[in-house]
Amino acid sequence: MLRVGINGFGTIGKRVADAVRAQPDMRVAGVAKRSPNYEAEVALDRGYALYSAADDGATPFEDAGLPVEGGVHDLVVESDIVVDATPSGVGAQNKGIYEAHDTPAIFQGGEDADVAEVSFNARANYDDAIGADFVRVVSCNTTGLSRLLAPLKENYGVENVRVTLVRRGGDPSDTGRGPINDTLPDPIAIPSHHGPDVQTVFPDVRITTMGLKVPSTLMHTHSLNVTLESEPDVDEVRDLFADESRLFLLPERLGIDGAGKLKEYTSDAGRPRGDVWENCIWDESLTMDGADLYLFQAIHQEADVVPENVDAVRAIADAATKEESVERTNEALGVGSGLTDHAVDHADPISDAASDD
């Protein structure tokens, strides 16, 4: 049973903790937080051992009457592997702590690529992370692009990729972010960082990404063109995607026109937090024009990296092959559930708590 510590219990950390808890071969060693806010209450409600990452130690938590087990060093001691889900840039600062304890760690995509030996996407390069000390799970957008490009690259070859990322302005809880009533090229300069980030996974792929921010919070939407090295029929591409466990082709009959109905659907299906772990590709948008593939896909920025973090834990521990890990993660979380014609029952990662945490 792998003991996984979670440093940072915000948007990603709390989801990774619940996902780890749902796995048959892992347990949550504890979670570290900086402030005793509502998410600290959630951690304690879930039964996670709470550690303080505050500069002044346990004080803010004690003042709030919340019990903590110690500091980040104490959490690392209790962990076989740490998932660092702290804000962008903080992960790199934490690296020395993990090195001091000789404990492998997983960073998030907000860190620079050189924080780790491997920029990781389970579908694309699981094996590169086997036995690594430091792995970086690429960002939500890069994860979404990597999952899509891997099968295209393997089957048809990829000559050029052009993506416009229509990005949500902030997460639903980011009350201080914008824009309001505007569409902002962001960055104005081209390419955005996403293209070079995809190249940390696929160094030889030619890709240009253009980012914009809009006044929505639910998901990113990608407008995507891939010039392939061959000219498959659109139905071949459809079948190829249908075989991928973390790509979901949204059938027209569902009547899902955007992120709102999509999250309504996954919430109705009983998924924790309504999370959408899969790339959601609008089936109707799939278009081939010569060697040019066009499509729209929605990416849930809070959720799609969660199963990737779980797989990264197994890769580092060399605890499963790629296929075993992906299948185990999917099964335990319910990836694909509520997104198929006949939804099947899966473990509930919240209520079916593992007995040992």
353 Cβ contact list (under 8 Å, min separation 6): 21, 46, 47
State which H helix or E strand residue 315 sits in. Answer: helix 306-317
Q: At which residue do the structure tokens 């197994």 appear?
A: 314
Assigned token pair, 7: 């440093």
Given a contact cutoff of 8 angstroms between Cβ atoms, the answer to whether 306 and 275 are in contact is yes
Q: Which is nearer to a second copy, 189 or 342 (CB)?
A: 189
* Contact range with a second copy by CB under 8 A, out of 127-135, 147-155, 176-184, 347-355: 176-184
154 binds a second copy (CB under 8 A): no
Alpha-carbon span 30 to 50, nearest angstrom? 6
Q: Which one of 24-32, 119-127, 146-154, 213-221 is the stretch in contact with a second copy (CB under 8 A)?
A: 213-221
Please give the Cα distance from 217 to 170 (Å, whole number).
5
Q: DSSP code of 252? A: G
Q: Which is nearer to a second copy, 74 or 171 (CB)?
A: 171
CB of 244 to a second copy, least distance (A): 20
Out of 208, 245, 267, 321, point to the residue binding a second copy (CB under 8 A).
208
Among 93, 173, 183, 340, binds a second copy (CB under 8 A): 183
Is 220 annotated in a binding site? The answer is no
Tell me if residue 280 is catalytic: no
Alpha-carbon gap, residue 333 to 346, rounded angstroms: 7
| 88 part of the interface to a second copy, by CB under 8 A | no
Known binder of ligand: residue 194? yes
Closest CA to 85 of 354, 313, 345: 313
CB of 222 to a second copy, least distance (A): 9
Tell me whether residue 252 is exposed, middle or buried, using C-beta atoms within 10 angstroms of its C-beta: 0 to 12, 13 to 18, 19 or more.
Answer: exposed
Contacting range for a second copy; rule: CB under 8 A; set: 57-65, 236-244, 277-285, 341-349: 277-285
Question: Which among 54, 81, 140, 288 is annotated as catalytic?
Answer: 140
Distance of alpha carbon 41 from the chain centroid: 23
Query: Is residue 284 part of the contact set for a second copy (CB under 8 A)?
Result: yes
Pairing of strands 158-168, 220-228: antiparallel
- Footprint on residues 233-262 left by a second copy (CB under 8 A): 252, 257-260
Question: With respect to a second copy, which residue has the nearer C-beta, 24 or 178?
Answer: 178
- From CA 295, how far away is CA 225, in angstroms rounded? 7
Dist. CA 168–CA 214, nearest whole Å: 6
Q: Does 329 belong to an annotated binding site?
A: no
In whole angstroms, the minimum distance from the beta carbon of 104 to a second copy comes to 37
Residue 146 · residue 247 · CB < 8 Å: no
Residues carrying an active site annotation: 140
Residue list, annotated binding site: 11-12, 110, 139-141, 168, 194-195, 301
**Binding residues vs a second copy (CB under 8 A):** 160, 162, 164, 166, 168, 179, 181-186, 188-191, 208, 210, 212, 214-221, 223, 225, 252, 257-260, 282, 284-285, 287, 289, 292, 294-296
Residue list, annotated binding site for D-glyceraldehyde 3-phosphate: 139-141, 194-195
